[in-house]
Amino acid sequence: MSQYLYIALMFVGIYGLLSQKNILKMIISLNIMELGLNLFIISTGYIKEAKAPIILFGNEGNYVDPLPQAIVLTAIVIGLGVTAVALMLARNIYKTYGTYEIDEIRGENDD
């Protein structure tokens, strides 16, 4: 059951968020989590022995669920947007504090 693996992948990402202290690694963890989630979304639309939902002539009927595919498209793009902002933030953090390690960041939040 590959759906198990997709959920597991999501939790690998969450494990990364829990254990990593490097900002870039956290962004990667976020991406892994989103990847797992996206795979899970697609998998909810899978139907055994069904075809891709594109109408080709003389070959109608018995398609997989197209809605999760449409949704995952949106989810991926949103993930892209978030990652872009996250990377830019990471760059600004590096520029400001000279490090990507969370433990070495000083001056925010500790008053």
Burial annotation 51-83 (CB, 10 A radius, 16+ → b, else e): eeeeeeeeeeeeebeeebeeebeebeeebeeee
CB of 29 to other proteins, least distance (A): 9
CB of 37 to other proteins, least distance (A): 5
How many C-beta atoms surround the C-beta of residue 35 within 10 A? Answer: 17
CB of 51 to other proteins, least distance (A): 11
Are the C-beta atoms of residues 64 and 46 closer than 8 Å to each other? Answer: yes
Q: Quick check: helix, strand or coil at residue 51?
A: strand
